[in-house]
Structure 1
Amino acid sequence: MKKIFIYAFIIVLIISVFPRCAKIVAPTGGPKDSLAPVLVRSVPAMNSTNFDGEKITLIFDEFIALKDYQKKLAISPPMVKNPEIIQRGKNIDIKFKEPLKKNTTYTIYFSDAVVDNNEGNPLKNFLFAFSTGSTIDSLTLSGKLRDAFTLLPVENVFVMLYDQNIDSLPIKSLPRYLTRTDKSGLFTFHNLQLKDYKIFALLDNNSNYKFDQATEDIAFIKGMVSKKGLTSPSKNDTTKKVVRTVNLNLFKEENRTQALIGFDRKQRRKITLTFTKNPEGKVKLNPLNFKADSSWYLIERNEKKDSLIYWITNNRISSMDTLKIQLSYLKTDSLKRLQPKLDTVKYIYTDSEEPKRRRKDKDNDTPKKNTLKVDCNVKKDQPIVPYNPMVFTFPEPLRNFNESLIKITNLKDTVDVKGLKLKLDSLSPRIYRIYSNWVPDVKYKLMVLPKAFTSLSGLDNDTLDVNFFGANPEKYGQIILTFLNSPKRVVVELLNEKKDRVFDTRVSRNGEKVTFDYVTPGKYTLRIIEDTNGNGKWDTGWYLKGIQPEKLIYYSDSKTKGVLNIRANWENEISFDFAKQSKP
């Protein structure tokens, strides 16, 4: 009996152990593939001559895929009809749709579009070259392209070469050679002839290899790139950095075509004209279905200055649902000349229907009083920096204001601030400012009594009561920038760390110091612009006039890496030498 129990125990033990031993485990599969595909054969062979076929076949050592090849592929010289690209298994077939040029070296750039099918390992900087003549050209030209404003590299931009120094070539003709920039903004031309070249870069919106749209980004070098900058592959040391002969700055030209593109009347007192750019010359409004003197409107310009807003001051005119007006302005013709233009427009405004009142609202017959909204930049219990203005913004211009109903009291001395004057903004009739030297750490009270402001529509403001205080300089940082070897005029912008917001701007003339006071503690960057035309802002380029975009620099050094950590009650002194700024 004891033996039976022993045998039974052994059988149960075996049954419970064996399922665990038989558990299925996925195979590890070995090390991860990290190798890029390798071209093992091609028809014709790489760098072959006297090619007269219609198809090229590339054969790799493993199964491949083409990733974003439409964006990365470039064929030099370019073709009117792009070839058909067929990828199957380990092969790529390139079928030409137009005859090849005689005695010409062709280069097909794939960049990193060829990847292995499993892990996506790219074959970097892959190209294939062949010649329809008895020789194959072999020289190279390399360079780097970056955005002229951000200074960041731009990928997939066409870079083109022409063998004549004619300005109209990038506009009217296909280039002689073509390549694309990579992720680092780098580009290389292969298989070039020994000669001077005109170079031009294009972010081609319509894929025709021509600069024929004003919205296309471009880069150029005035004159020709010397053949002395071309290198032979035999002299290229692959263990070292490739020498970048050309540096290009990509920019979008300012729109110089002037035309009226829109008009509207979204408010009864507000009519708008929208142009393609800041309109040159006078814009005149001639009433056709009403009579008015020259004071029937006030003009406001938007921030981009491409729109003109007319605020109607006359109650009779604003009450009309339809305003018929003849416009007189300048418009660019087909020869890029400004010519007088007359247009007739109808401004129509229809009052929107009021929402139906609920029974509960009907029981309360007391009408809600409409008041003029006043937006003030000074907020409750917040500081204001000395000499910074107090800004009042209104939804529409004022018909009148009463300064005696506006009072600012120094709460420390319990006296009113004297000499307060409202100053109208130069661009907008809806903005007014009050300037004063606010004393640090002193508390103030702003009191605006009813009817201090009256709008064109006759609305009065309600009481505005705001307590605020003068900013204490010890709670802020300071940046002092000294220039060496400076151009005549420099614009310095204080930006946030992401470089997408401008906090303050200063101008330096003939190398004078620039100081940013009352800088709120935080992280900042500096943008320095060589203001060659002296208009106080960065200007883009103009190809046909040979004008490059204005040079700008983002401040950086080995210690800060370009990010300034501003602390309270701390002076940050920076010395900037223009002569030591390295090329890209």
Structure 2
Amino acid sequence: MQAPTGGPKDSIPPKLLNVSVPNLTRNFDHKEVVFEFDEYIKLNNHYKEFSISPDVEKQPDYKIKKKKLIITLPDSLEKNTTYTINFGNGLVDFNESNPFKNYTYVFSTGPELDSLTISGKVSNAFTKEFDPKEDLSVRVLLIPTRQDSIFGKKKANIFTGVDSSGNFKFQNLRADTYRIYAIKEENNDRIYNHPHELIGFYALDTIRLDKNIENIYIEYAKGKPKEFKIQDRKIQKDSRITLSFNQPLDSPAVRIIDPEELNEKAYVKFSELKDSVNIMLEKLEFDSIKLVISDYNKDLDTTLIRRSKNEKYDRELIPQLNITNKVNKVEHITITSTFPIESIDKNKIILKEDTLSRRNFQLQKDTLKDNLYHIRFNWKPKKSYELTIQESAIKSIFGDTNKEFKAAFAYDEAENFGDMIFKINGLDSNVYYIAEIIDEKKTKVYDRKILYNSNTLHYTKFPGGKYLLRIIKDINGNGRWDGVDVYNKIQPEPIWYLDKPFVIRSNWEQNETITPKFE
């Protein structure tokens, strides 16, 4: 036996027929509320979807009995308080799981029902967008200023979710002064306490609620932790000592304090964002190593790493090229490595054009970027190339050398390069700006320039294609975008996006005047 097939699919959510204690009841003193529906129902992730606001220490008990939802309330309800139970998507029909969406049940344990509302919108401070696929987990927290000491320590009692556009609304609030936060959580505990959580706060700090308030706008971003910490530390298999931090630094330094003599020949390389560091030593002849991280010569954190005596490290200088299978006359070829390069022997680099060996290529060390070399050549169409970096062609500062390395590629005949010039109005002459050419998904950066006391952006012989322009107002001049510092009430640095993609066309020079607005 089985259910009959065919017929239209049920897409209608359950319909509420009756509530044992009517919605918006005052002087509420019941222990149980029964909701009766027109069809069989079930709970769906109700521990996450159902919520009561203000929060209670012991949560209500939710049970299903055929077509009824039975909510048993705890004994700890406060007197003269308006409570809201939000169903979210936690109740669905039994067969097709059609949700009974966003129903709220409101009651007051006193003679009055609080009726004030706060509504607004949230978005990501970096993208200036709300992504319903990624950001529906955002919660908006409302904390009376008299309780603001609980922030980051205890759950916020008053909270709400957001819809697919990032809109939120608090209802049935009492008159009071509040602070309001938006948080994209990692652990669903309504507490800002995780290093990867995004946080935002209302720009005007407090809200005096004595009438309905609309159009509250909050941007959330990666927050600056209250205290700097070394988050992770390890000795890699290739012998690099790697430290990662819970926040980027501005003027970082690392110092070995035991064994102190290792400082003399240590090579230190911070990441571009300065949120991690690699320390490389000539030899790892120690049982343990103690390091301290500082910023602007102020010591921030110390760590001790122990080395296993039986651990073997395979340190090899591996060449890293900027190409895969194509090369062009604008970018040419670059060589770098994880380990610091002391020299490259041009005589041990073999460039073949088809089958012929070519020696008239240029090998130059970059004048600005450490550990980067360039190979330039008059590449030709319809030719195949092979680059061989022979064994021991590259030598590190510790005397390590490379094994033989080969790469095959061809010349990119597209010649798809154009020029783009932006004339920018309204920039402050004494403020740093970061201009970035990015893809339409806002995830990949193709070019990055620092602007100071300048109002022109030149992109010469830039690869053709469709791009977005992003300009960051770098208020503190540290060369990167900084998110929110909720503890010191500092909003994320302003970002502006050109409102439409622009196209760089082959062999064209284009000019455009733009006026960024940083809100």
Instruction: Return the TM-score normalized by structure 1.
Output: 0.71
User: Do the aligned partners of residues 440 and 99 (structure 1) sit closer, same or farther apart at CA in structure 2, a change above 3 Å counting?
Assistant: same
Q: Residue 504 of structure 1 aligns to a residue in which SS?
A: strand
Residue 280 of structure 2 corresponds to residue 311 of structure 1: yes
* Correspondences of 1:70-469 after superposition (within 5 Å): 70-150=47-127, 151-153=129-131, 154-164=135-145, 167-175=148-156, 177-221=158-202, 222-227=204-209, 230=212, 244-255=214-225, 256-259=227-230, 261-264=232-235, 266-267=237-238, 270-273=240-243, 275-277=245-247, 282-285=253-256, 295-303=264-272, 305-313=274-282, 318=283, 322-329=285-292, 341=302, 343=304, 345-346=306-307, 348=309, 350-351=311-312, 374-377=319-322, 382-385=327-330, 388=331, 390-394=333-337, 396-398=339-341, 400-402=343-345, 416=360, 421-423=364-366, 431-434=371-374, 452-455=393-396, 456-457=398-399, 459=401
Secondary structure of 2:112's partner? Answer: coil
Deviation at 1:191, TM superposition (A): 0.8
Instruction: Kindly provide the amino acid, as one letter, of the partner of residue 130 in structure 2.
Output: L
Aligned to 1:477: 418
| 1:44 pairs with 2:21 | yes
Tell me by how many angstroms 1:406 deviates.
7.0
Displacement of 1:114 in angstroms is 3.4
Distance change >3 Å, CA 44–CA 475, structure 1 → 2: same
Any idea what the Cα deviations from partners look like across 1:380-438, whole Å, max 9, x if unmatched? 762131xx57422246444544567779999xxx99578x64248756xxx332387x8
Between the aligned partners of 1:121 and 1:312, the Cα distance in structure 2 is 61
Does the 8 A contact of 1:203 with 1:216 survive in 2? yes
Share of identical aligned residues, percent? 27
The 1-side partners of 2:271 and 2:149 are apart by: 35
Partner of 2:447: 504
Higher strand share: 2
Shift of 1:543: 0.4
Over 3 Å counting, the alpha-carbon distance change for 1:483 and 1:36 in structure 2 is farther
Counterpart CA distance in 1 for 2:491 and 2:459 is: 29
Contact 1:285 1:327 in 2 (8 A): yes
Give the secondary-structure state (helix, strand or coil) at the position aligned to 1:123.
coil
| Greater shift in the superposed pair: 483-492 or 527-536 | 483-492
Tell me the amino acid that sits aligned with residue 190 of structure 2.
Y
Q: Is the 8 Å Cα contact of residues 148 and 549 (structure 1) preserved in structure 2? A: yes
Letter in 2 for 1:384: K
Shift of the 170–402 alpha-carbon distance from structure 1 to 2, 3 Å rule, reads same
1:545 and 2:498 matched:
no
Matched residue type, 2:468: T
Alpha-carbon offset, residue 568 of structure 1: 2.1
Corresponding position of 1:12:
none
Aligned residues of 2:228 and 2:300 also touching (Cα < 8 A): no
Q: Which has the larger radius of gyration?
A: 1
- Unaligned runs of 5+ residues in structure 1 are 1-25, 232-243, 354-369
Q: What amino acid maps onto 1:433 in structure 2?
A: Y
Assess if the C-alpha contact under 8 Å between 2:254 and 2:268 holds in 1. Answer: no
Going from structure 1 to structure 2, the CA distance change for 1:448 and 1:200 (only over 3 Å counts) comes to: closer
The SS at the match of 1:523 is strand
Aligned partners of 1:215 and 1:252 also within 8 Å: yes
CA distance in 2, matches of 1:503, 1:52: 63
SS at match of 2:205: coil
Root mean square deviation, CA, Å: 4.3
Question: Cα offset for 1:328?
Answer: 4.2
Change (3 A) 1:98 1:514: farther
* Distance in structure 1 (CA, Å) of the matches to 2:141 and 2:193: 15
Aligned to 1:578: 516
Higher fraction of helix: 1
Residues 439 and 209 from structure 1, CA distance in 2 versus in 1: closer, same or farther, beyond 3 angstroms?
A: same
CA distance, structure 2, for counterparts of residue 27 and residue 213 of structure 1: 49
Q: 1:530 to 1:373 in 2, by over 3 A?
A: closer
Deviates more, 1:141-150 or 1:504-513: 504-513
Which amino acid is the alignment partner of residue 131 of structure 1?
Answer: S
Distance of 2:223 and 2:286 partners within structure 1: 37
Q: How many Å apart are 1:27 and its aligned residue?
A: 8.5
| AA of the residue aligned to 2:43 | L
- d(CA) in 1 for partners of 2:94 and 2:512? 52
Segment drifting more, 208-217 vs 142-151: 208-217
Number of aligned residue pairs: 499
| Cα distance change on mapping 1:426 and 1:440 into 2, 3 Å | closer
Give SS of 1:490's match.
strand
Q: Distance in 2 between matches of 1:212 and 1:294?
A: 36
DSSP-derived class of the 1:245 partner: strand
Q: Secondary structure at the match of 1:168?
A: helix
CA contact (8 A) 1:163 1:176 kept: no
C-alpha separation in 1, matches of 2:48 and 2:155:
19
Amino acid at match of 1:209: R
Cα distance, 1:306–1:484 mapped onto 2, change above 3 Å: closer
Partner amino acid, structure 1, of 2:442 = K
> Which one is further off, 40-49 or 457-466?
457-466
What is the alpha-carbon distance in structure 1 between the residues aligned to residue 193 and residue 510 of structure 2?
Answer: 48
Distance 1:144 1:480 in 2: 35
Offset of 1:34 from its aligned partner?
A: 4.6
Alpha carbons of structure 1 residues 144 and 126: separation in structure 2 relative to 1, 3 Å: same
CA contact (8 A) 1:64 1:89 kept: yes
Shift in CA distance, 459/491, structure 1 to aligned 2, threshold 3 Å: closer
Q: Distance in 1 between matches of 2:341 and 2:6?
A: 78
